[in-house]
Amino acid sequence: MWYWLFKYVFMGPLLSLLGRPKVQGLEYVPDSGPVILASNHLAVADSFYLCLVVRRRITYLAKAEYFTGTGIKGWFTRWFYTAAGQVPIDRTDADSAQDALTTAERILGERKVLGMYPEGTRSPDGRLYKGKTGLARLALETGVPVIPVAMVGTDVVNPPGSKMWRFGRVEVRFGKPMDFSRFEGLAGNRFIERAVIDEVVYELMQLSGQEYVDLYAADVKESPDGPNDGNPPARIPESAAG
């Protein structure tokens, strides 16, 4: 119930006013059945706007930190994400990553829509970063179609690092469903999983128009030099397009 109240009453109207969302390709999202929405990640607002424009309910695997805060702020954050139907995951080690995949498989097994960010975290500078293979393994193990989604302009409405929201124009661009059935039975092969996730990221690059950087966004954030390392952004190899 809370999910729909947030979408249509408490948050949706304000988000529509701020971002005036424009949608392309929504017809690619099926009305029923399991599907993975693989989106680029520019701002916290990405999840809100994607939920706003998709008719079906979307479940995200939210980092556990959102559910472990203390005090009034921690309580409210935990309540908000729980009420919105988001699922906490621990991302600290390999065992935790496997638990996250198991949880994702359960969600898809319930024929739900699962939202995922292949980059693993928000872009530190608006460019598109190397994808992590968890999404690829999930797609290969479940056979569920992957729909690439490009968020454009969310970082203008909701600038990273700022608590202020601004007026802007958000675009949500859906690509055609991606079928990886040709790799059936090859889940766990790291070369195949890398090829699959590179193909997804290539589609995101085409949809969003972002420059591609062949580094993990999390590593760039942790680097002392930050995202401005002086190196020009690399383009994803053409061979990764499949």
Q: Give the domain ranges of the chain.
A: 2-61+91-241
Residues 16-35 have a mean pLDDT of: 98
The phi, psi pair for 212, rounded to 5°, reads -100, 140
Tokens of 64: 């556990």
What pLDDT sits at residue 9? 96
With residue 49 as reference, give the H or E element that holds it: helix 45-53
The pLDDT value recorded for residue 85 is 76
Count of CA atoms in the C-beta half-sphere (13 A) of 141? 17
What is the rounded distance in angstroms from the CA atom of residue 162 to the CA atom of residue 158?
7
Q: Are 181 and 146 in contact (CB under 8 A)?
A: no
Of 234, 208, 236, nearest in space to 42 by CA:
208
- Compute the distance between CA of residue 154 and CA of residue 15 in angstroms, rounded to an integer: 11
Q: Residues 10-29: what's their mean pLDDT?
A: 97
CATH of 2-61+91-241, one of 3.30.499, 3.30.70, 3.30.160, 3.40.1130: 3.40.1130
pLDDT at position 95: 63
| Tens digits of residue pLDDT in 170-191 | 999 999 999 999 999 999 999 9
pLDDT in tens, 96-154: 678 888 999 999 999 999 999 999 999 999 999 999 999 999 999 999 999 999 999 99
pLDDT of residue 87: 84
Q: How confident is the model at residue 232 (pLDDT cuts 50, 70, 90)?
A: very low
The pLDDT value recorded for residue 94 is 60
Sheet holding 113-116, edge to edge: 22-24, 171-174, 146-152, 35-39, 113-116, 58-63, 87-89
pLDDT of residue 43: 96
Phi, psi of 178 (to 5 degrees): -105, 125
Instruction: Convert the pLDDT of each residue in 187-210 to its tens digit.
Output: 999 999 999 999 999 999 999 999
pLDDT, tens only, 45-95: 999 999 999 999 999 988 788 888 889 999 998 898 888 878 887 766 666
The predicted structure's pLDDT at residue 165: 95
